[in-house]
Structure 1
């Protein structure tokens, strides 16, 4: 009976001393949890030799203690007093040795230099590497520890202690066992301090985030050991006095403006990591110009996250690079099958993120799921709009927790309006959880309503003073606006879809998003035609204008006719003005300048009673432009000059610049090429300052016309060059 319970009791006591759960010991030893459970319950009296050896190594047993454990485990020895009353010892336990990674570390020299400098600083004794799961914190810590072991001069004793399977109350005993310190003292930190005495030492505590409550032990340990430095890896900081935090970023990946050849792309760490790991499973992998571009896309879609890159690289054994790129639209389904010698939480990307998610409190989990609906980042106001509390301070508190735990990051920390974001693979996990909880519909509806409100708030500002700020804001939020439109059209929310598309069309026009804007307007207009005349009229205006710009005069004419009909039925003069304007522009496009003057003149008449506005200014400009093309230069110049003054009054810099260009054409047609050139240059400079591509094309075309009027070979070549540049821009805009 004594022999039957001896191994069970011994394994339980040694596992507890090592600070391990049964799952943790199984993970560290490579032995099944069932086997360990059977032994501890006394169902197995002995184990095989190799099982005993693996258990002893996982428990960091050495010397006589290891011999005794293996003997009892194999049934060839009894448990003696040594195991019951271990003597104090200071040994370099095998379990605390710095691991030797099987692969090379790629692209982390900068981070290693920062860590080395911090460890060399006598004033820094607690250094924490933070970042999301899979970003490479442990790998950097291992390399930094290995370099510290072999550093010239006084070499510190280095201990590496993984805590992934350690329960919070057992952190102290786990560290003590790993450092080779045993004592009957109740205060473990005191025993470690006595054992280390004044020897320099570096202790690496890996995966601390799930035992964050043991930070007090770390503080006590530093107080007891004057020459001890502690390097921690964690998804959140310990928040202790004197702690220095280094946020580990994802690896850099190639941007499209830095060249596309294999050598240029492999110069980036993310791509090089992918190539090295992929080559390990496909020795015939060759990177040419075409596959280099695919590699860039793959690493970009993975946000440069090392674990994600390594999991994706392993898939090239079964997939082509092109197929892998396509499948990474749903990365969590692809990023599986990591090496078996990794912790289970790192064998799939989903498990890695789930580990972090499980450490959140319920309020943080709820906010995390809500934030996953954002595309391209969000502001604090946007996050608050989706939160149940709707209180900014409460949202900030919970979001700070997500930032601390490395699930959310500051995308623009140095701007006045701070933006937050999350890596795409983390966002996909949040979307999965939201779908599973049946919350996604309500979250997306709130998201769409917030961005509809933003677009309608921005709309009047797009044609007046401060318009540049609004254009930039909408461009920043473009991905969220797209997501909102997709939701509203998919759920056939006709009214909101029309309102949002109608509010955005001037933004699409100014930014050159013609094809995309036209697509969304068509989608919204196709849902339902009933009882929404005001919202439909605005969308028809935008869709008709986009059709005109892209040369689809037939569709533009049909949209114009519908808009005019709706406006007259509902006695909406401004909507009628907009429909007539589209019709006039189409007639201009067809070269029917005299016919265009009639709808433009009627549009101007409709605007006068409504008072000064962008519409009134633009109606002057349109009529003036048609008169100019019809040869009525004097009347044209008067109308365009009046329009320019109105644009100045309301603060619309874009259309003021456009008015300068039209005055340039009037001057050129009047034979004053010098005045025309001056006006075109002023217009072009304004458009360049405003980053208005359509306006830049117009300015280049004006200068090409002036140059062509000089009638010599050099001027002809210059004119052709300017016209070609303008045509290139227009092709880009209409693509």
Structure 2
């Protein structure tokens, strides 16, 4: 199985053809195309082929949804709390401190013609209210759901996915006629992949028909039986499968789904050799798939040799997924994975398997933390995104006193990922749970977790809790003599003081942080803090020292840093040059910064630099180019729900509107800036605040007190989209 990356269509693609679903496909297409249907749920037992049918429909209607089709796999999600974050991750939407994540998703979808495919929602049906809310707050979005049960919400249309067609038991048809029935056609197609010379004959037909009847035309059961047929004839297969099914029917505790799939899976499992059985069971520890490296780690920890996984792939118990630039992943359909998970709990060493699963993801998160600051930042982002369900499962397993150190280590190392993906609340929630569950108040790992919790709290505008976390972390780091950890925490305390405009205090923290980093020859840490020192010194008016700090930071980051870190240094230098009137130098710094951010697809960094470059262009009189850069950056920040970026960009927008004598619109933008900074809970950055204050004074003089106040108030009530429109609609001729 693969996907279609790099486009607005993000749908899995299966190599095997979909057989016998033409009538169901047409029926679903008619419903989905109806103007009165916005929420369509395909309902059926596990194994009926709901996912394949939904994907077939989505492929056909692709051109009818020009703003994209997005597949959200919910089978690995077992907590309704994570449904909305999973949708947001699929759409690349970041969290905002001004609105909930579901509101950010609704704002992103807006009036776009999009199709959202929510696959396997039944175990998290409690999130249905958010699905309805999303539809209520958008105009053209349609949602196609697959579920074992209806959502039972307002305006839901359901379609019962039928089993594959079977011939009437009282008819005697020729083999060619039998192939017109989808269940028979599927069995023959799949068994031919195993027994290449197989041909449906008059003699074999009754056994084939009876096999398909025994499993009630359930596609997954038919595929599994065919895949495990090896050299068995249909008659032999029928005898073995019928015996298994007969045993299951004597168990009153089995649901209708289990009465078919469980005995079929029991039979498939029995056909594996002992080593393959163990491998299959251990794969049940993984959620949302696994890599060969992850699987090998469990066998290495148990000092065992892993059998080849290809046998499970050949038997259709595991699917292989390949994405460009990423490791091959092995995934299971949800019904098979659930069965494997049950088998895992029957192994004597299942606790060791879960512990090793945790240990692997602790090591992976630590490697990602270190790798994030190097040249492979984008690769680590992709890798952790692919492992998000396993990481959550590992955290849940770790939340017990005996595993407290690993829990703290895993959550602490993940903060960069949560921050970059904009899922601040989830990351902070995990960290706070790990901190609360920790029985050792003097733990070294606790100090790192407190620092990480402080970073996420600060990013949410919760400055008081953030400062508390940082102070606790610093005290523990000093107590343990952890110089590197102390350096990082001091840098963060400096950032807090800077935000409060306590520049002397911020400088003292930051200088101690640099000294600690240099003591360990930790150049990366020193480089980051030097950039912050440059900002603090500039705010204090010590420009030459600020320039020197930024220059030194850039030298270190060019040698040791990631593309985003180098780009950030260049943006700082560009901003400093801009406000010293050195426009050509500022333009050069910012152009290089933009190219580096683009290389790693860093949207936040790109928009940040575009705003500064737009400011340069206004100062150069290139107003049309400034408008283009600024509007593009603001739409990106709106998509990412980046309130700080929006407020900074609106300051440049006020400058642009003032230059074009659009004074009333400029005053409205000033009102919007005030509203956003109040929501963030912090003043504008130093230079932005100077620009903003100067422009406010000018506009008050231009408009008069009453007119100024009226437009400030109307601007505070504007939406971000309306505020951006004020800038986008300014008539400016080409430069």
Question: What interval of TM-score do these two structures reach, taking the shorter chain for normalisation?
Answer: 0.5 to 0.7
Does residue 1:363 correspond to 2:272, yes or no? Answer: no
Does residue 1:703 correspond to 2:610, yes or no? Answer: no
- Contact 2:322/2:329 (CA < 8 Å) preserved in 1? yes
Distance 2:603 2:344 in 1: 40
Unaligned runs of 5+ in 2: 1-18, 28-45, 72-109, 124-143, 169-211, 219-255, 645-679, 681-735
2:532 matched residue in structure 1: 622
C-alpha offsets along residues 558-592 of structure 1, whole Å, 9 cap, x if unaligned? Answer: 11111121122223232222222112111222333
Unaligned runs of 5+ in 1: 1-99, 109-131, 137-247, 268-288, 303-309, 326-333
C-alpha offsets along residues 129-176 of structure 1, whole Å, 9 cap, x if unaligned? Answer: xxx96559xxxxxxxxxxxxxxxxxxxxxxxxxxxxxxxxxxxxxxxx
- Which of 373, 378, 381 is the equivalent residue of 2:293? 381
C-alpha offsets along residues 483-542 of structure 1, whole Å, 9 cap, x if unaligned? Answer: 211221256621001111122223333444433322222222221262553211212222
2:469 matched residue in structure 1: 559
Deviation at 1:642, TM superposition (A): 0.8
Distance 1:705 1:578 in 2: 32
Aligned with 2:406: secondary structure? helix
Distance 2:278 2:393 in 1: 20
Aligned with 1:372: secondary structure? helix
- Please tell me whether Structure 1 or Structure 2 has the larger radius of gyration of its CA atoms: 1
Does residue 1:345 correspond to 2:257, yes or no? Answer: no
Deviation at 1:253, TM superposition (A): 6.0
Counterparts in 2 of 1:564 and 1:411: CA distance versus 1, 3 Å: same
2:391 matched residue in structure 1: 481
Aligned with 1:296: secondary structure? strand
Give the 5 Å matches for 1:81-160. 104=23, 106=25
1:606 matched residue in structure 2: 516
Distance 2:392 2:267 in 1: 31
C-alpha offsets along residues 249-307 of structure 1, whole Å, 9 cap, x if unaligned? Answer: 9954649x96897999899xxxxxxxxxxxxxxxxxxxxx99x98983247889xxxxx
2:4 matched residue in structure 1: none
Deviation at 1:369, TM superposition (A): 2.2
Does residue 1:460 correspond to 2:370, yes or no? Answer: yes
Aligned with 1:410: secondary structure? strand
Distance 1:501 1:679 in 2: 36
1:690 matched residue in structure 2: 600
Deviation at 1:466, TM superposition (A): 4.0
Q: How many residues align?
A: 462
- Contact 2:617/2:623 (CA < 8 Å) preserved in 1? no
C-alpha RMSD over aligned residues = 4.5
- Contact 1:253/1:300 (CA < 8 Å) preserved in 2? no
Does residue 1:297 correspond to 2:118, yes or no? Answer: yes
List structure 1 runs of 4+ shifted beyond 6 angstroms. 100-103, 259-267, 292-295, 299-302, 310-314, 321-325, 334-342, 413-416, 436-439
2:558 matched residue in structure 1: 648
C-alpha offsets along residues 411-455 of structure 1, whole Å, 9 cap, x if unaligned? Answer: 118767422111223212322443466875443222111111222
Aligned with 2:581: secondary structure? coil
- Contact 1:501/1:524 (CA < 8 Å) preserved in 2? yes
Deviation at 1:701, TM superposition (A): 2.7
Counterparts in 2 of 1:506 and 1:293: CA distance versus 1, 3 Å: closer
C-alpha offsets along residues 662-681 of structure 1, whole Å, 9 cap, x if unaligned? Answer: 00011011101232122122
Does residue 1:668 correspond to 2:570, yes or no? Answer: no
Give the 5 Å matches for 1:3-18. none
Distance 1:494 1:425 in 2: 32
Give the structure, 1 or 2, with the largest relative contact order (CA under 8 Å, sep 6 or more). 2
Q: Which moved more, 1:695-704 or 1:627-636?
A: 695-704
Aligned with 2:330: secondary structure? strand
Counterparts in 2 of 1:391 and 1:569: CA distance versus 1, 3 Å: closer
C-alpha offsets along residues 339-370 of structure 1, whole Å, 9 cap, x if unaligned? Answer: 99863434654423541342222433332222
Deviation at 1:659, TM superposition (A): 0.4
Counterparts in 2 of 1:538 and 1:388: CA distance versus 1, 3 Å: closer
Counterparts in 2 of 1:452 and 1:489: CA distance versus 1, 3 Å: same
Q: Which moved more, 1:550-559 or 1:348-357?
A: 348-357
1:548 matched residue in structure 2: 458
Aligned with 2:641: secondary structure? helix
1:148 matched residue in structure 2: none
- Contact 2:24/2:161 (CA < 8 Å) preserved in 1? no
Counterparts in 2 of 1:712 and 1:660: CA distance versus 1, 3 Å: closer
> What TM-score, normalized by structure 2, do the two folds share?
0.54
Deviation at 1:652, TM superposition (A): 2.4
C-alpha offsets along residues 23-79 of structure 1, whole Å, 9 cap, x if unaligned? Answer: xxxxxxxxxxxxxxxxxxxxxxxxxxxxxxxxxxxxxxxxxxxxxxxxxxxxxxxxx
- Contact 2:326/2:383 (CA < 8 Å) preserved in 1? no
